[in-house]
């Protein structure tokens, strides 16, 4: 990645006044996300950890059911 910006001045007489500024090295969150999606092996990591992800989803579904079951009984009871 090019991190230098050169301000161009007209003609050779302006060569001595040529200014070089350092560009911002701060990478935007959108650019970081794009680089993560394009350059990393995130899809392979998801496949490697699919069992843990499945267990987490089942625990989340069970916890949600455990919280909503009493509410459902109260609503049906009236």
**pLDDT, position 75:** 93
Using one digit for the tens of pLDDT, what is the confidence trace for 17-71?
Answer: 666 666 667 888 999 999 989 999 989 999 999 999 999 999 999 999 999 999 9
pTM: 0.51
**pLDDT, position 64:** 97
Give the DSSP letter string of 12-72. STTGGG-EEEEPP-PPPHHHHHHHHHHHS-HHHHHHHTHHHHHHHHHHHHHHHHHHHHHHH
């Amino acid at each position: 990645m090019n991190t230098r910006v050169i301000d161009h001045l007209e003609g050779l007489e302006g060569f001595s006044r040529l200014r070089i500024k350092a560009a911002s090295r701060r990478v935007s969150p959108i650019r970081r996300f794009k680089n993560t999606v394009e350059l990393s092996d995130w899809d392979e990591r998801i496949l490697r950890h699919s069992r843990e992800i499945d267990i987490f989803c089942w625990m989340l579904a069970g916890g949600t059911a455990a919280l909503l079951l009493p509410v459902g009984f109260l609503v049906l009871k009236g």
